[in-house]
Amino acid sequence: MYKIRGVLFDKDGTLFDFGATWGNWTERLIEAETAGRPDERAELARILGYDLEGHAFLPASIVIAETVATLARHVLPFTSDSDLGALIDRMSILSQTAPQVEATPLRPFAGALKDMDLKIGLATNDSEAAARAHLAKAGILEAFDFVAGYDSGHGAKPAPGPLLAFGRSVGLAPEDCAMIGDSLHDILAGKAAGFTTVGVLTGPARREALEPYADVVLNSIAELPAWIAGQA
């Protein structure tokens, strides 16, 4: 039996390439909510921390780790209807239809984890509906024992609520679980929950930002099965 018996993944920047997914989403959101108003387009991009010309996120972009609901509050002043709930719905639909580039081929990866008899979960600051849609599109939803978004009732990272809910759901103690993510929100949530913390470099954060906090930093989730096997 492995020391790690349950693995909880972040979604964007961990299972999927962050820039490909959220860059597309952010550009579509800015265009949709500021249609015909170029000055507001530039200002909203600045607030979200996105370089429209370079098609890239700035290091301090709030899109990197905040929930859709938090982002919506920043976008709301630029909308024409001032309806926060309707805006969140529009943002969630955009999220569900954003392209997904897998950090590693996910079907064989998920199969390898199941062959190791690991419990698998996902905790994202995206919505649960979008998370399930993305996992289903990748053909791996059935491999997951637990899926939570910011709106699932467990809170949002960096608070430990979603992580503790995963442990309860699969019947594992925190010391038996690992949190795998690309941002400090993921690592800090893992520390708060008592999980082993694994950083990956497929998101915006660089190694030097993650190493002081994570128990280990891997290049990508592709290295995870071998690392877990080495902890036995």
- pLDDT recorded at residue 11: 96
Contact 186, 202 (CB under 8 A): no
Q: Domain check: are 120 and 75 in the same one?
A: no
The pair of structure tokens assigned to 112 is 């390898």
- pLDDT recorded at residue 76: 97
The pair of structure tokens assigned to 209 is 């930002």
- pLDDT recorded at residue 80: 85
Q: How far apart are CA 180 and CA 178, in angstroms?
A: 6
Q: Domain check: are 67 and 141 in the same one?
A: no
The pair of structure tokens assigned to 78 is 């630029």
Between CA 38 and CA 172, with CA 66 as vertex, the angle to 5 degrees is 155
- pLDDT recorded at residue 97: 85
| 1 in a structural domain | no
Q: Which segments of the chain have a pLDDT < 50?
A: none
Total domains in the fold of the chain = 2
**Nearest alpha carbon to residue 24 among 59, 67, 62, 63:** 63
Structural domain of residue 179, as residue ranges? 6-16+100-230
Domain boundary among 46, 74, 96: 96
- 3-class secondary structure, 219: coil
For the chain, the distance separating the N- and C-terminal CA atoms, rounded to the nearest angstrom, is 7
- pLDDT recorded at residue 21: 83
Q: Domain check: are 117 and 209 in the same one?
A: yes
Main-chain dihedrals φ then ψ at residue 185, nearest 5 degrees: -55, -45
Q: Domain check: are 82 and 107 in the same one?
A: no
The pair of structure tokens assigned to 217 is 């930093």
- pLDDT recorded at residue 96: 84
- pLDDT recorded at residue 116: 97
Q: Domain check: are 22 and 10 in the same one?
A: no
- pLDDT recorded at residue 2: 80
Domain boundary among 76, 96, 116: 96
Strand partners, 198: 180, 216
Q: How far apart are CA 126 and CA 94, in angstroms?
A: 11
CATH code: domain of residue 175: 3.40.50.1000
Q: Domain check: are 86 and 157 in the same one?
A: no
